[in-house]
Amino acid sequence: MPRQQLHLDPSSPTIIVPITARDATELDQSAVAAAAALDAGAVEWRVDLYQPFTAGGGTDPAPAVSALERVAELVPDIPILATFRTTAEGGSADIPPESYLALIDALAATGLAAAVDVEYRHPVAERAIAAAHTHGTSVVASNHDFDGTPAVEEIMVRLEAMESAGADVAKIAVMPRSAADVVTLLDATERRHRLSRVPLITMSMGALGAVTRIGGGVFGSAATFATVGAASAPGQLPASDVRGVLDLLHHGAHE
């Protein structure tokens, strides 16, 4: 089964729909729903939520590989981003660093994921990025700040560090405490977009930051996460609603 590529362009942001299944039954249901959603340009499978993998402590990647094969079977025409989100970055599980590396390597080796997520501050991030690239799989480097919104310069430094580490896409999500924080995120995105050689995905989380999930492309963010079912982060909006707004913003801009 050929891998579907992840094409990201801020002039037409990709809608990424999360698959947040806890077991095989939910996995099938979520994947089928995502496949039926015309608004999904890609899916993100959250491995850290999948209990057949995490229940074993995450030391054996086989259950995750089998689940990825199932997702690829159910969404054959949609690119898959495979993500294990640690608790330090707002996820639901933790596994030993060497197991994290083995998981990234095993998922990338299947050739079924368009990209794998690697937390750029993870202890084995450099090795995980290299392992994914060995298999020809792209890497979305990520960082999540649930405590607040860093200064513009700090956001830019983090995005630049991801690119320097070899990421194919640089992603950051921050938590706004005020409208000014939302402006900070958008300002940093626009500034970094002018310099970056890789696509960016940026967002402010929660209700206050919702505008960044629909208007981020104007500032250089090439994708947004939206729901068909359960959300995987605070502030995600329904994919069908997001599609309507993106069509208005971006199609109108080209007329």
Q: Would you tell me which CATH number, out of the four given (3.20.20.70, 1.10.10.10, 3.40.50.620, 3.30.470.20), belongs to the domain 14-250?
A: 3.20.20.70
Q: In this model, does residue 38 exceed pLDDT 70? A: no
Tokens of 236: 């995600």
Contact 95, 84 (CB under 8 A): yes
Q: Are 43 and 75 in contact (CB under 8 A)?
A: yes
Q: Judge contact between 132 and 118, C-beta under 8 A.
A: yes
Q: Are 236 and 227 in contact (CB under 8 A)?
A: yes
pLDDT at 14 over 60: yes
Partners of residue 116 on adjacent β-strands: 82, 139
- pTM beyond cutoff 0.75: yes
Query: Are the C-beta atoms of residues 242 and 213 closer than 8 Å to each other?
Result: yes
Q: Are 112 and 77 spatial neighbours (Cβ–Cβ below 8 Å)?
A: no
Query: Alpha helix locations (H) across the chain?
Result: 24-36, 51-54, 62-74, 97-109, 125-134, 152-164, 179-195, 210-215, 239-246, 252-253
As a dihedral over the C-alpha atoms of residue 145, residue 223, residue 21, residue 136, rounded to 10 degrees, the angle is -100
Residue 254 pLDDT class (50, 70, 90 cuts): very low
Residues that are catalytic: 144, 171
Q: What are the residue ranges spanned by the domains of the chain?
A: 14-250
Handedness of CA 234, 174, 128, 42 (dihedral sign): positive
Residue 233, pLDDT > 80, answer: no
Cα gap 194→204, rounded to integer Å: 20
Helix axes 152-164, 179-195, angle to 10 degrees: 40
Q: Which of 120-129, 183-192, 226-235 has the lowest mean pLDDT?
A: 226-235
Query: Cα(110)–Cα(106) distance, rounded to whole angstroms?
Result: 7
Confidence of residue 234 (pLDDT cuts 50, 70, 90): low
pLDDT at residue 3 is higher than 90: no
Span 218-223, average pLDDT: 96
